[in-house]
Every structure is written in structure tokens, then in C-alpha cells.
Chains A and B, each alone.
Chain A
């Protein structure tokens, strides 16, 4: 249980707050988030498109650094990583 995943805004309602978890077997960022998201179909569809890629507006952070969505499929995770996933809110 060494990776912390934090969801914010509406994603927090879908998945809860801070989640502590192990790295996925393949060590990939996208597998980590997909593994959590599969527990909630509504939540999964709020983060991933029908091809299993991150929706373009979802903001992904690893250890305080943004991960470009196009790089997410090639990004790895490791012990002690701090991951943040959230949608920008848009209302005014």
C-alpha cells in the first residue's frame, strides 16, 4: 500500500478521497487508475474514453508534476508516488 492516489472535485464523489494502493503488476500509471476506476462504471466513464484512454480534459499529476494525457500510457508509477486525478470545474 505505497502509492497515494488523490481524487478531487466530482471524482472524489465517485471514488472517495485519498486511496492508498500497491503498484499494478505492469507498473503503469494508466493501469493504476483504471484498476481503481473499474470499481465504479460511472466513475470509469468520467475518466476514460471508450478506447480506454484518459479523456483529454482530465488532469493527471504525479508527484506534483502534470502528466500530459498523451504521455499517460507510457508513464510508470513506483512506491511512494503521490498521484492526483481531477476534472477541471467549469462553471461560473
Chain B
């Protein structure tokens, strides 16, 4: 049941989502891996939309060089844990939700515990090693996985529904080399907003998800292309001979 206060807060989206949709957001628990360029807009929009519980995990402290894009953090946060400033910022945006900000490195040993009972995993990481790990956790626990990545003016996003769509390894079988990427903050804003929109659509059962579709955003051309993707039967993460398949069949 929505309180009068919540009814006021969400008035301008209640006609889009109905009470039932808003209640679903309130009951949801979303895990966000990373409180950086992508994690910032994702967390801000999901907090503002009324996602009941947000777990956000990061291991870094705020650095001055983060501030062109990581809009959860501000100048006075330099030197603080990103999780501390993220929690403070998200609570200020919406005090009616629960924010669990965890200062940790996401590793194979702790990933499942960190994700816990989340209804969705948002990929806001900056490396494919951890992305593949979260992809594995999503597959193992059949949790939707909202992928996003950015570079410069470019970005990509897709929504992975375990056992239904291509997984991240089907789409990106090999990680590109690690690099310190240049990123325009607004590019992370575009892709993070796409990811947050997908989460809200998934939770409320609205619209057409980015399932088996990889959006490629080109900010230089102001153009979005769509690549149709499909499951790879030989995928090491979700294919017919993968540990995931053997576990679930």
C-alpha cells in the first residue's frame, strides 16, 4: 500500500506504472555493481523511481578524476569511499527507500552473497572480468542482468534474461584489452538511463525489453543502432555444455 507521501512523490509516474507497478518497484531489490560512471545515473534514477532496496557495491575512493562523469559524488567527497558518498546521495534523493552500500571488491568468492536476494543485477562495472562474473551469478540464480558499457562518446546496452536470451558471453565472448578509457559523462548518462529504464520495464512488466538486442549508441553521430544477438549453443557460460546448463537440466 502506497503512503500519501509516496503517492505524492511518485505522482508523475503513477499513471504510467499504476499502483501495482509502483508497488512492484517498492518491493524490488536491485543490485548495482559499481558506483562509477554508469552506477551513478542508474542508482540515481532507480532511487528516484522508488526501487525499495538498492544494493550498490564499489571498492574505490572518490578521486578528482572521477567527477566528470560519476555524478553520485561531488567535490567534497574526494578521498571518501564511493559507497559512503553514494549512500548519502541516494538517501538524500529518496529517504523512503533502503540503500545498502557495500565497500567491497566483487570476487567469485563473495559475488553470490553480495547479490543476495536481488531481483535484478545492473552491470555498472568498468572491466569485463567482473562483468563475466556477474553474468555467471545471474545465470546461476536466474536473475536478469542489465548490461551497459561506455567508451568516449560510445556505449552499448542489452538486457539478459537467463535461459531465455543470449548471455553476456554469447554477445562478447572475449574481453577487450583493459584500458583507462576516456568517457564523456553524458555518455554514461545515456547508457545508465537505458539500463534504469530496462529495470523499471522488467519489474513492472511494461514495454519491450532489450532482450537479444544490443543497442550501440554513437553520441558523435547522435545515432543508436541495434544489433540482433542470439544464444550461442557453444557458449562457455550458458551453452548446452556449460556448468550452468548441467546444473539446471
Collect the chain B residues with CB atoms within 8 Å of residue A68's CB: 173
- Tell me whether B175 and A90 are in contact (CB under 8 A): yes
Collect the chain A residues with CB atoms within 8 Å of residue B216's CB: 8-9, 86
| CB-based nearest B residue for A61 | B227
- Tell me whether B172 and A91 are in contact (CB under 8 A): no
| CB-based nearest A residue for B124 | A92
Contact digits for A1-21, partner B, Cβ 8 Å, 1 yes 0 no: 000001011101100010000
- Tell me whether A9 and B230 are in contact (CB under 8 A): no
A70 to B156, CA, bound (A): 24
- Tell me whether A9 and B154 are in contact (CB under 8 A): yes
| CB-based nearest B residue for A92 | B126
In the complex, how many angstroms separate the beta carbon of B128 from the nearest chain A beta carbon? 6
- Tell me whether A90 and B229 are in contact (CB under 8 A): no
A9-B216, A65-B230 in contact; A92/B150 too (CB < 8 A)?
A: yes
Collect the chain A residues with CB atoms within 8 Å of residue B174's CB: 56-57, 69
Within 8 A of A (CB), among B167-199: 171-179, 181, 183, 188
- Tell me whether B34 and A92 are in contact (CB under 8 A): yes
Q: Is B38 an interface residue (CB 8 A)?
A: yes
Query: Interface residues of A toward B: which range?
Result: 20 to 34
A84 to B228, CA, bound (A): 11
- Tell me whether B218 and A12 are in contact (CB under 8 A): yes
- Tell me whether B149 and A8 are in contact (CB under 8 A): no
Q: Is A38 an interface residue (CB 8 A)?
A: no
In the complex, how many angstroms separate the beta carbon of A8 from the nearest chain B beta carbon? 5
Contact digits for A27-44, partner B, Cβ 8 Å, 1 yes 0 no: 000000000000000000
Contact digits for A66-91, partner B, Cβ 8 Å, 1 yes 0 no: 10110000000000000010111111
In the complex, how many angstroms separate the beta carbon of A16 from the nearest chain B beta carbon? 11
Q: Is B204 an interface residue (CB 8 A)?
A: no
Q: Is A25 an interface residue (CB 8 A)?
A: no
| CB-based nearest B residue for A63 | B228
A8-B225, A91-B181, A92-B37 in contact; A66/B176 too (CB < 8 A)?
A: no
Q: Is B39 an interface residue (CB 8 A)?
A: yes
A79 to B36, CA, bound (A): 45
- Tell me whether A84 and B179 are in contact (CB under 8 A): no
A61 to B150, CA, bound (A): 20
- Name B149's contact: one of A17, A59, A69, A90 (CB within 8 Å): A90
Partner-B contacts on A (CB < 8 A):
6, 8-10, 12-13, 17, 56-57, 59, 61, 64-66, 68-69, 84, 86-92
28 pairs from A and B in contact (CB 8 Å cutoff): A6-B225, A9-B154, A9-B216, A9-B218, A10-B151, A10-B152, A56-B174, A59-B171, A61-B227, A65-B230, A66-B229, A69-B173, A69-B174, A87-B176, A89-B154, A89-B156, A89-B181, A90-B127, A90-B179, A91-B126, A92-B37, A92-B38, A92-B39, A92-B123, A92-B124, A92-B125, A92-B149, A92-B150
